[in-house]
Amino acid sequence: MLHILLLEDDPVLSNEIQGFLKEKEVACDTVYDGDLFFKQMKTSDYDIYLLDINVPKINGLDVCERIRQSDVTTPILMLTAFGEIDDKIEAFSKGADDYLVKPFHLEELYIRIQALFRRKIQPQIKSDVLKFGDLVIDLDDKKIFVAKQEINLTPKEFKLLTILATANGRVLSKQQIADQLWDYHIETTHNTIEVYINFLRNKIDKTFNTQYIQTKVGFGYYLKTD
């Protein structure tokens, strides 16, 4: 059974989510502040974390960031009333995999949970390494190296870079990238693609004075492979 840990300080919403997921045969433990979250997460192996941002003790963004310091694989879905693009950018930069703005339909929450879990359990390609000059992408260990120096990427940044790399120099539109980066449409997908491209450029191209991530104006993005 899918096992979820929910951080939500609104008792009404927390109970609604827990009851709804129980009907879907999804186990959901709930806590109302950041301190309790970290105590609870040590008691079980959770498949997905659902995090409200504005909660007591340790807010959801800081919780997300702390999770990613030791766990880069467990999906994190933010549940929050903050719906501006800057709020979403900050959440994704902390390592969130998805972002759902309140109020939301519980069925949509369930769809997103299913999508995150499908990606988590997909079998990984073994012994697969992509190389482009000094850029090395280890698909097995989920590691990136430039000039033999490891680069720390969030799960979404890693997936975006892999999408570009496996296109073998072909230009991908924002929509083509979005279709692979997310399993469903969200209103800010295209803006978020631009944000993630900038994240990658800052970590790879600007840091190492390279130009791997290219833009073809009016068409999309591609990875320089020669």
Report the CATH number at residue 54.
3.40.50.2300
Q: Is the pLDDT of residue 186 over 70?
A: no
The reported pLDDT for the residue numbered 216 is 92
pLDDT at residue 126, as a whole number: 43
Same domain assignment for residues 104 and 151: no
Which tops the pLDDT comparison, 38 or 84? 38
Identify whether residues 68 and 148 lie together within a single domain.
no
Average pLDDT, the chain: 88
Residue 178 token pair: 């979005």
| pLDDT confidence band for 75 (50 / 70 / 90) | very high
Residue position matching structure tokens 């693609």: 193
Structure confidence at residue 63 as a pLDDT band (50, 70, 90): very high
Question: Domain range for residue 195?
Answer: 129-223
The C-alpha angle with vertex 176 and arms to 173 and 182, in degrees rounded to 5, equals 130
Both 133 and 114 in one domain: the answer is no
* Pair 7, 107 in one domain: yes
pLDDT of residue 189: 53
CATH code (residue 193): 1.10.10.10
Domain boundary (60, 91, 121) is at 121
Q: Which of 100, 121, 142 is the last residue of a domain?
A: 121
- Contact between 102 and 80 under an 8 Å Cβ cutoff? The reply is yes
Q: Domain tally for the chain? A: 2
Residue 79 region, left (φ>0) first, then alpha (ψ -120 to 50), else beta? beta
* CB-CB contact of 32 with 8 (8 Å): yes
Nearest to residue 151, comparing CAs of 111, 105, 205?
Answer: 205
Structural contact between residues 213 and 164, judged by C-beta atoms closer than 8 angstroms:
yes
- 119 has pLDDT over 90: no
| Averaged pLDDT, 122-130 | 60
pLDDT tops 50 at residue 124: no
| Domain end among 93, 121, 149 | 121
The 3 state secondary structure assigned to the chain is CCEEEEECCCHHHHHHHHHHHHHCCCEEEEECCHHHHHHHHCCCCCCEEEEECCCCCCCHHHHHHHHHCCCCCCCEEEEECCCCHHHHHHHHHHCCCEEEECCCCHHHHHHHHHHHHHHHHCCCCCCCEEEECCEEEECCCCEEEECCEEECCCHHHHHHHHHHHHCCCCCECHHHHHHHHCCCCCCCHHHHHHHHHHHHHHHHHHHHCCCCEEEECCCEEEECCC
- pLDDT, greater one: 190 or 78: 78
155 and 194 together in one domain: yes
Longest CA–CA span in the chain (Å) reads 56
